[in-house]
A and B are shown apart, each in its own frame.
Chain A
Amino acid sequence: MTDEQAPKLPEPQQNTPPMPPYQPSPQATDPDYQSMKETGFSHILNDLLKKPLSVIYEVKHGNHSPLSALLIVTLASLAIFGIVLGMFSSGEQLWAAPVKIIGGVLFSGLICFPSLYIFGSLGGMDAKIQHVMGIMLTFLAITSLLLVGFAPVIWLFSTSSNSLVFFGILCLTIWIICLTFGLRIILRASKIMGGRRGGHLNIWAVIFIMVTVQMTTTLRPIIGKSDSFLNLEEKRFFIRYWFEVMESESQSGSPRAINADTGNNEPKRPRNKK
């Protein structure tokens, strides 16, 4: 090749065959993904636990969308769970804890909703925004219902424990167990809607769990006592806050009340235990 000759560049493909339109990957069949036999409130409750995919089927194909019923189930269940949590400290926490639990879970769902839609799409899920909204509400409703199932266990320990750390760890463990069951439905729904392996949704699940766990610190105190409803001025990362609370309780030598706002030891106020 001489200097006068232009370098010979490879020719791009000229006769490119027309691209076929997007075809979602073959949808997995799930025996639960079928129409609900009846759409009454009690049937929705029943199907949420037995055949949750049928609820999502109704969201996608049904004439009567169960979204409002799912929201009511979520709110009522979280309120019950919150009241049981509030029994640990009693007094004002009986109404403050349910308000914080409901607000925290709904706010977490709201800020994680855009990423659920995008991460689902990244995994190949072919769903409209309203369908993803249905999946999110079904997930929250199942999680909340399971929390109500655990409520007697929590009540038992709330009335018998003095240790804030023990009770906090117990509640968090139960919360994560319920979330895990709820998150399974998101993965199953994704597969039904053409999603492939749930790698992206697993990452989303970790993010969601982290957000809700941080919410417990943001909305503190949920289980302990405090002078104020919220403590938004003092910003804490949840791990740091937990360590502070654990340190305070271990330094005290015996289980005692800790100011759940600051994580510091403060004179114990009488708990209104029955």
Chain B
Amino acid sequence: MPNLSNPLQNIPPLCRGDRSLLRRWLDQPITECLSFCIPAILLGCGCYGFTMGLWQGWEMASYVGIKFPLVIFATLLVNGAINGMLAMVLGSGIGFRQSIQFLLAGFSLMSIILLSISPITFFVALHAPDPSDAGAQQWHRVTLLTHTLLIAYAGIVSHRSLLVHVRNFATTPRHGSQTFFTWLAGNLFVGAQISWIMRPFFGTPGLDVQFFRNHPMAGNFYETVWNAVTSLLSY
């Protein structure tokens, strides 16, 4: 049985998808869950974000280390109400508080996976060429792809584990799956836009290192994708 008095002991059962851990979190006051999940997300995403920005220097690394956990929390905050409502409307038997706990548990697992890879990405970042070097553009593309793959891997693993929990907890597995995929769609949709607002994360060579771009709220992620697609087709 996981010991809630020592947060570190929650890591292996969370990784293994131990159902009793999540059941205990749901039964205990929400502070039990928050006291583990929030530090885990801060530490995991913070450290990983730091290594993402490190190739552009310590300033960028610090910015991304702060912004990456913020993206997670902002997404949960913006979607918190609708996630809880959808869970109820879809007949899953999951309430507001439980929906937050489920999602926090999922993002904690993702953060722990990213934290465990951070020493490697830190080492890789230390070997990046200087952003003003000739090979910086190529490195930028490689690092963009690598980090996207690693974050996607951590996200898929954690959400797959979360899906099992939600299906077990919901009134029926079908309702659990519906709820889960609704949350996933909403979080992806909002998360992409929040990431867009909080850009840059990797830092394009040649552009200034900034916490936010000059007009962060001008335009949105989907407009940019649409413009890119149309310009590609017209070309």
Contacts and interface: CB of A to CB of B under 8 A. Distances in A.
A71 interface: no
A190 B1 CA distance: 21
Contacts of B92: 10
Contact of B12 (A10, A121, A203, A237): A121
Interface residues of A, number: 35
Contact of A203 (B88, B93, B142, B153): B153
Which interface residue of A13, A20, A121, A240 has the most chain B CB atoms within 10 A?
Answer: A121
Contacts of A236: 127, 129
B94 interface: yes
Contacts of B142: 237
B68 to A, nearest CB: 18
Contacts of A118: 11, 15, 112-113, 115-116
A19 B127 contact: no
A22 B1 contact: yes
B15 A121 contact: yes
Contacts of A19: 19-20, 23
B39 interface: no
A126 B16 contact: yes
Contacts of A10: 88, 91-93, 171
A238 to B, nearest CB: 9
A21 B18 CA distance: 8
A21 B127 contact: no
A54 interface: no
B139 interface: yes
A235 B171 contact: no
Nearest to B170: A13
Given A10-B171, A121-B12, A126-B12, A218 B127 contact: yes
Contacts of A22: 1-2, 13, 16, 18-21
Which of A24, A203, A237: most chain B Cβ within 10 A?
A: A237
B120 interface: yes
B88 A121 contact: no
Contacts of B1: 21-22
Interface in B1-54: 1-2, 11-13, 15-21, 23
Interface string A9-25: 11111000001111010
Interface residues of B, number: 44
Nearest to A196: B16
A200 B157 contact: yes
Contacts of A200: 157
A20 B11 contact: no
A207 B157 CA distance: 16
B124 interface: yes
B164 interface: no
A124 B16 contact: yes
A122 B15 contact: yes
Contact of B123 (A13, A126, A211): A211
A114 interface: yes
A117 B169 CA distance: 28
A115 interface: yes
Nearest to B146: A210
Contact of A9 (B12, B19, B88, B153): B88
A58 to B, nearest CB: 22
B117 interface: yes
Nearest to A235: B127
Interface string B65-102: 00000000000000000000000110111110000000
B219 interface: no
A111 interface: yes
B120 A111 contact: yes
A121 B127 CA distance: 29
Given A21-B1, A122-B16, A115 B120 contact: yes
B128 interface: yes
Contacts of B23: 19
Contacts of A76: none
Nearest to B14: A121
B95 to A, nearest CB: 7
Contacts of B118: 114
Nearest to B135: A240
Contacts of A150: none
A115 B20 contact: no
Contacts of B117: 115, 207
9 contacts: A10-B171, A22-B13, A22-B21, A114-B116, A115-B119, A119-B116, A122-B113, A214-B124, A236-B129
| 4 nearest CB pairs, A to B | A121-B15, A12-B93, A118-B116, A111-B119
Given A10-B88, A13-B171, A19-B23, 4 more contacts: A7-B89, A12-B95, A124-B16, A214-B124
